[in-house]
């Protein structure tokens, strides 16, 4: 009997489903501010929790006094020189310091209507709905939470800056995470100097909160498990309920035929993914698709086993030195964490 394969899945997702799906991934269903454990050696982590709590409380408070709500929303000043009245909160830090935990906790703290999306999911939503319809659907929200904020090309720069401008002007508060300060987004990926005005205009809407610390996923075992041999991988896939088994080369080809907005649906009911013949991806187009799949697997806590080359070889040296370096390193961090979940089973 043949084993289930991801390459046999061709999910469909309508616009209403895309909007309804703007919630934190299942991995973060139970996260809250109270169960975020700051590293005592990294005081910025406790400070970030306090900033997120304050931001959530600000969304819950009505505007006070005779000033207009929008004027108070964009007002400058605040304690310790912070622009506490800004409509945006930006959590900047490295991998595995708990940025997504805090962003999801903030989302859980705020009453509906609200939306939570990765940056890619947000741009996909605008692509499906159209800009004006996306603004219409989101402008009544109290909060838009955006995880892993990224600007990969000039089109995305203009799209996101215009979207956030329209939404914040309508009263939507925005919280985001990234590994890059908002006025540095896009550097190394395109001619950012040509778009500085747009990038800086967006950055001015955010209060930046830095979160320092090492990647918690790598505190004990920085390296992924060794690849299995082909026969052992196939046997593990056969004996793991609801698992899939795919040739890595064929899966890469399949990912290019399926829109990334559908990757989550493609792996929704998968208990474990087994990839045969893993190798370095051949080009950046495939690499970015693999990154998107890694993100959806991580969102759903789907463990991964591989044969062939180790996960550390997934992206070549040239890719890791290029403009998408942080994106590829995030994918490696997440896939390494997922592979450890099955390493001893």
Mean pLDDT of the chain: 82
Spelled out in words, what is the top-level CATH class assigned to the domain 31-214? alpha beta
Q: In the predicted model, is pLDDT for residue 129 greater than 50?
A: yes
pLDDT at residue 153, as a whole number: 58
9-13, 64-68, 129-133, 302-306 — most confident range: 302-306
Domain boundaries, the chain: 31-214, 217-340
Q: pLDDT over 90 for what percent of the chain?
A: 51
Residue 31 CA, chain-centre distance (Å), reads 16
* This prediction's pTM: 0.73
Average pLDDT value for residue range 10-36: 87
Q: Which pLDDT tens digit goes with each residue over 257-282?
A: 998 888 988 999 999 999 999 999 99
């Amino acid at each position: 009997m043949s084993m289930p394969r991801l390459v046999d899945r061709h999910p469909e997702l309508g616009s209403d489903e895309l909007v309804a799906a703007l919630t934190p991934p299942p991995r973060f269903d139970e996260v809250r501010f109270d169960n975020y454990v700051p590293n005592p050696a990294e005081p910025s982590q406790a400070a970030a929790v306090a900033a997120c709590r304050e931001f959530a409380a600000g969304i819950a408070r009505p505007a006070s006094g005779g000033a207009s709500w929008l004027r108070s929303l964009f007002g400058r000043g605040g304690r310790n020189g912070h622009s506490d009245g800004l409509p945006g909160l930006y959590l900047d830090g490295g991998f595995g310091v708990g940025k997504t935990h805090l962003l999801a906790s903030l989302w859980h703290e705020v009453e509906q209507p609200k939306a939570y999306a990765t940056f890619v999911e947000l741009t996909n939503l605008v692509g499906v709905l159209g800009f004006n319809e996306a603004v219409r659907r989101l402008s009544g929200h109290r909060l838009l939470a955006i995880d892993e904020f990224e600007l990969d090309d000039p089109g995305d720069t203009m799209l996101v800056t215009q979207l956030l401008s329209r939404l914040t002007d309508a009263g939507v508060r925005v919280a985001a995470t990234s590994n890059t300060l908002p006025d540095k987004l896009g550097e190394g990926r395109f001619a950012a100097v040509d778009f500085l005005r747009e990038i800086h205009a967006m950055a001015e809407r955010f209060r930046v909160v830095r979160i320092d610390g090492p990647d918690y996923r790598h505190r004990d075992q920085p390296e992924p498990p060794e690849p299995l041999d082909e026969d052992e991988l196939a046997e593990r896939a056969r004996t793991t309920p609801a698992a899939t088994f795919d040739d890595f080369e064929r899966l890469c080809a399949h990912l290019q035929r399926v829109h990334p907005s559908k990757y989550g649906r493609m792996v929704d009911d998968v208990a474990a993914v087994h990839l045969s013949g893993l190798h370095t991806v051949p080009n950046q187009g495939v690499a970015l698709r693999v990154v998107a799949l890694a993100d959806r697997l991580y969102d759903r806590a789907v463990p991964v086993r591989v044969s062939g080359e180790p996960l550390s070889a997934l992206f070549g040296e040239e890719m890791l030195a290029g403009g998408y370096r942080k994106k590829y390193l995030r994918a490696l961090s997440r896939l390494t964490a997922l592979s450890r979940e099955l390493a001893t089973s």
